[in-house]
Amino acid sequence: MKNFDFLVIGSGIAGLVYALQVSKYGKVAIVTKKKIYNCTTDYAQGGMAVVLNKEDSFTEHVNDTFIVGGEIGKKNVIRKIVEEGPKGMQYLIELGTKFTKKNIHRNYSFENLSLTKEGGHSHHRIAHAADSTGHEIMIALIQNCKENDNISIFEDHLAIDLITQHHILQNEEFIPNRTCWGAYVLDQKTGDIAIFRAKKTMLSTGGGGQVYANSTNPDIATGDGYAMAKLAGARIANMEFVQFHPTAFYSPEGKTFLVTEALRGEGAILKLADGSTFMEKYHPKKCLAPRDVVARAIEHELRVSGKKCLYLDATKIDHDKLKNHFPYVNKKCKEYGIDFTKEPIPIVPAAHYFCGGVLATVDGMTDIKNLFASGEVACTGLHGANRLASNSLLEALVISMRAGNHPLNTEEVNFPKIPEWQNVGNFNENEWVVISHNREIINTIMQGYVGIKRSRRLLKYAADRIFNIYNEINNFYQHNPVRPEVIETRNLAIVASIIIRSALSRKESRGLHSIIDYPERDDKNYLKDTIIS
C-alpha cells in the first residue's frame, strides 16, 4: 500500500495545477499512464481565453460562452470561471509559462500579451504561446512539480478503479455516504497492482476521443476517468455533446493532427475542392462561426460532394507571420509535403473534446465524497452544449485552483480496511485475440452512427452492438488478470454506451448534438442537462 494525502490521476493542466496547490497541505502522488507530458494539454495549440484588456469585458465573455453553449450552461459557473481567468493567467506566468508577447523586449504584463481571436468570440482574448500553448504550459508545470519535494510522480501507472464502498468488506458495520479513498493502480512495467490510499483524489484524466476512429486526441484519451467514476457511482452529465474539431489534417493513411482554429482567426478561409467558399451559406460569421456550425457545414459539404476532405487556405496571410505564429502547423504540414504558405491544407472534422463528463461543482466536488474532478473529464456547467474555443484550458486552470484551495483538503479522513487487489486465473491469450478486435469495432460504430449527424434508428442499433461488446469485454475482465489493453477497451465500451444513452435521451438538436429526427431546438422540454446515473 502506498499512502499519500492526495492522489492525482492524470498529468495535464488540471492535475498538475491541483497537485501544486495541495502540496502545501501534504504529500501528493501523480499517477499517469504514460509519461508525464503525454496528455491532451500538451496537444493544445490555440491558447487560453481570458479577458485581459479594457476593450473586452467579463460580461461579453460570459455571453459568448453561454450563447455558443446552446444556452444550457450555468451562468453563475461561467461568470466565476471567467472572472478568475486573469488570476489564473498571472499564476501560469509566475510559474514560468512563456506566452507570446507583442514586444519581446518587455515583460509579461497583460498589456504586452499577444491576443488572438477564434470562432464564437466577440473580442481578441486568446492568450497563446505561438501555436503550442499547451506544450509551453506543460513545460512550466512539470518543472515546478519535479522541483516540489511533496510531489511524487508515477509514470507508466494506470488507474484501474477508484476505491469506494463497493471494494470494502462491510461485515462489522455499514459505511454511509459513497466515499473515495484512493485507487487501485497498475504498474505497467512490473504488472503489480498497488493500493494508492489518499485522503483526497483528483480525477483529471482528460477526455475519451479514442472512442472514435478519427480523433485529434492522444492515444491515452480512452475515457478512463468517465468509466471509473461511472463504475463508482458518480453521475455523468451531457455526454451527447461531443465536439468535433472542424479542421483536423486529412491524410489518406488516417494519421491526423489538429490544425488550430487560430489560423481562421488570422484570416484562413475554408474552401471546397474547386476553390470556392461555402461558410457564408451557414453562418453570418462565416469561417469564424462556432465549431459545431463549422463542423456540420463541412460534414454536409463532404457528403454532398463525395470528397474525402475540404481545404483550409491560409496562403493570403503574410508568410512570415504564418511561419512565426504557427510553427507547429508549419512543421507538421512539411512532414506531409505541404507548404501551407503556398497551398491549402486538406482538412476533415475529427472528435476533439467532450463537453460533458463527471458532474462536478465549480470547486471540482463530485457526488462521491473526497473525489474531485477537473478538466475535460468533468462537467461543471461551463460549456453547456458546445465549448467556446480556448475555454478548456481556462476551465481546467480555474477549477483546479479552486479545488486545490478548498477547505476540505485539510480535514482528517478515517480509512476502512482496504483489501488488496485479487488477480484471477491466467491470461487467456487465445480468447483475447478475438476480443481485442472490439476496440476497432467500437471506433467504427461510434464514427459511423454516433458522429456529427445522428439518427435515432442508428443510435439504437449502436446501443445494441455496444451493449453486447461491453458484456463480452467485461466477462473477460472479470476472469483474467488485468492488462492495460483490457482496461482501456473496457473503459471505451463504457464511454460509448454513456454517449449513446445520452444522445437517445435528448429528442432535439442543440449545440453539438444534431439528430435528423428532431432537427430543431426544443427549449420547452430540453432546456436542461442530460444526467446518467
Known catalytic residues are 291
Whether residue 244 contacts residue 352, with contact meaning beta carbons closer than 8 Å, is answered with: yes
H/E stretch holding 348 reads: strand 345-354
Neighbouring residues of 375: CB distance < 8 A, sequence distance ≥ 6: 10, 12, 13, 14, 15, 204, 205, 206, 392, 395, 396, 399, 400
DSSP letters for 83-114: HTHHHHHHHHHHHT----BSSTTS---GGGB-
Radius of gyration of the chain (CA): 22
Say how far apart CA 404 and CA 202 lie, in whole Å.
9
DSSP letters for 512-533: TBEETTS-S--HHHHSS--EE-
Whether residue 75 contacts residue 381, with contact meaning beta carbons closer than 8 Å, is answered with: no
Say how far apart CA 283 and CA 285 lie, in whole Å.
5
State the sign of the Cα–Cα–Cα–Cα dihedral 102, 106, 112, 115: positive
Whether residue 376 contacts residue 236, with contact meaning beta carbons closer than 8 Å, is answered with: no
Say how far apart CA 330 and CA 320 lie, in whole Å.
11
> Considering only CA atoms, which of 55, 3, 12 is closest in space to residue 378?
12
| Residues pairing with 126 in the sheet | 49, 116
Say how far apart CA 56 and CA 111 lie, in whole Å.
12
Alpha carbon 507 to its chain centroid, in Å, reads: 25
H/E stretch holding 465 reads: helix 456-478
Neighbouring residues of 531: CB distance < 8 A, sequence distance ≥ 6: 235, 236, 237, 359
| Residues pairing with 515 in the sheet | 454
Residue at 311: amino acid letter = Y
